[in-house]
Amino acid sequence: MDYDIVIIGGGPGGYTAAIRAAQLGAKAALIEKDSLGGTCLNRGCIPTKTLYRNAEILNTLSKADDFGIYVEGLRFDIEKMQQRKENVINQLRGGIYNLLKANNVDIINGAGSLKDKNTVEVINADGTLEELTAKNIIIAAGSKPSKPPIDGADSEGVYSNEDMLNFKKVPDKLLIIGGGVIGMEFAGIFRSLGSRVTVIEFMPGILMQVDTDITKRYSVLLKKQGIDVYTSTKVSKIEKTGESFIVHTEGKKGEASFEADQILIAAGRSPLIEGLNIDKLGIFYDKKGISVDEDFMTNIEGIYAIGDVNGISMLAHAASHQGIHAVEKIMGINKENKSPIPGCIFVFPEIASVGITEEQAKESGLKYKTSKFLFGGNGKALALGETDGLVKVIASEDDVILGVHIMGPHASDLIQEGTLAVSMGLRTEEIRGIIHAHPTLSEAFHEAVLGIEGLGIHSMPVRKR
C-alpha cells in the first residue's frame, strides 16, 4: 500500500499528525502496536490525572470542617477508583479512533520498523507481515520508564510509574526513588490516600527544571503534608525482607536506610527506539533520542521523529505540536517553530511554568525584573480555601514578559495566559490594560504583571530608599 505519510506510533504526537495530514489532503496511515493514545492516555497523563482528582477530593474532604461541613465515616473504594480510571481511558481512546476514521486515516494494529527510507515493515497483531511504502515517514514511537542500575531494583514490589497506576491496595509506607515530576505527582496522590511517603532524589533538589522560588515554597508545604524528601542522596541497594523492603542510601550525612512496603522507581523516561531498525538506515541518535532539525526531520530526508522519541520535550502537548509542524512542513507549509512549551505538574498545590526561570536569566547574564503576587491576596483563592502559592513573572529590562511561574489553585489552567504572553513577546503594558474578571484566580497573574512596573493595586507599595 502506498501512502503520502506513514506514522509509526499512535500517541498524542502520532494521531495528531495523522489527523492534520488528512486535513491537508494527504493519504495517511497510522501504525500502533498497542492501544491508541500511547503512553499519555493509557499509562501516563490521563490515568495519573484521573487518580489525582480522587486525591484532590480526599484533600478537600479532609478540610471540610473549615467550611462548616462535617463528614463522618469517610472511606474509599480502590476497585471503583480503578474502574473510573479505565472508563475515562476507554472513552478517550474510542474518541481518538472515531476521529481517525472520520478523517479517513488507515489504522494498522501492528509493530512498525523501517526497511528503507520509503518503506515500513509491519508485523500485524495476527502475526502476518505487510509493507507500506510512503513518500514520508514520521517516527512517533514514544518512550519507556528508565530503570537505574540499582541492586534489587527488579524485586517484586518495586514498580515503575506505569505499574503503580494499577495499584490494588494503598501501601502503608511508600518510598519513591526520584523527585522529578512523576515522582512528586505520585507522592501527592498516595499521601492523600493515606500512605507515609518518602522521596529519595539523587540531585541537589526536587523538580530541578522549576524556578527555585516555587520549589522552595513547595518544599515547605511538603513538610506540612508529611512527605519526607531527601536530596543529594543515592540509592545503593534495595533489599527485600519478607513482605517489606530496606532501601540503603548514601547521602550528605553518610549512609542511611529506609523501610518501605512498596517502592516506586520514578527516574525519568528513555526514548523507545528499539525495534525501529534506525541503525540500518544510519539515522543519527544518542541516549537522549533521535537527532532532528528545527522541522523535526532526521538526517535522512523524508524521515521525521516527533515527541518523546527525539528527547526534546517529553510532554504530550509538545509531541502534538511537533506532529502538526512536521506534517505541515511535508505538505509545503512553512512556519517558524517558536512557541514556548508550558509545563504542568499535578502536585498539591499545582505547579505550572513557561519561559525562562530566574536561574536561567542569571546564567545568561540577562538584565531582568521579577514580580510576585501571593494567592493569599486573591479573593477567589480565599473563597476556595486554597491560598498557598504565588504567581511569579520574569520580564526583560524593557518589560517584555519572558517567564511565568505559578504554584497554586488551578495553576495548570492559569498558565495558558502566561504562555500566550511569552509566545507573543507581550510587554507588561499590553496586559496591564486587559480587564480580568473579578473574583477570579486570573487576577493574581494580572497583579504579578502590574508589579513589574511597581503598579500593583493589591500589593503593598515598594518603599523607595
CB atoms within 10 A of CB 292: 24
Residues paired with 113 in a beta bridge: 121
Nine-digit cell at 353? Answer: 511554568
Sign of CA dihedral 44, 5, 277, 139: negative
Query: Please, what is the end-to-end C-alpha distance for the chain in angstroms?
Result: 75
- 410 assigned to active site: no
Q: What share of the chain is helix, strand, coil (3-state, %, to 5)?
A: 35, 30, 35
Q: E strands of 60-142, at which residues?
A: 106-116, 119-124, 129-139
Question: CB burial class (10 A; 0-12, 13-18, 19+) of residue 61?
Answer: middle
In the structure grid, which three cell numbers stand for residue 200, read together? 529519595
Active-site residue among 248, 321, 325, 438?
Answer: 438
240 forms beta bridges with: 245
Among left, alpha and beta (phi > 0; psi -120 to 50; other), residue 6 is beta
| Cell representation of residue 118 | 520509503
Q: How long is the chain?
A: 465
- Positions marked catalytic: 438
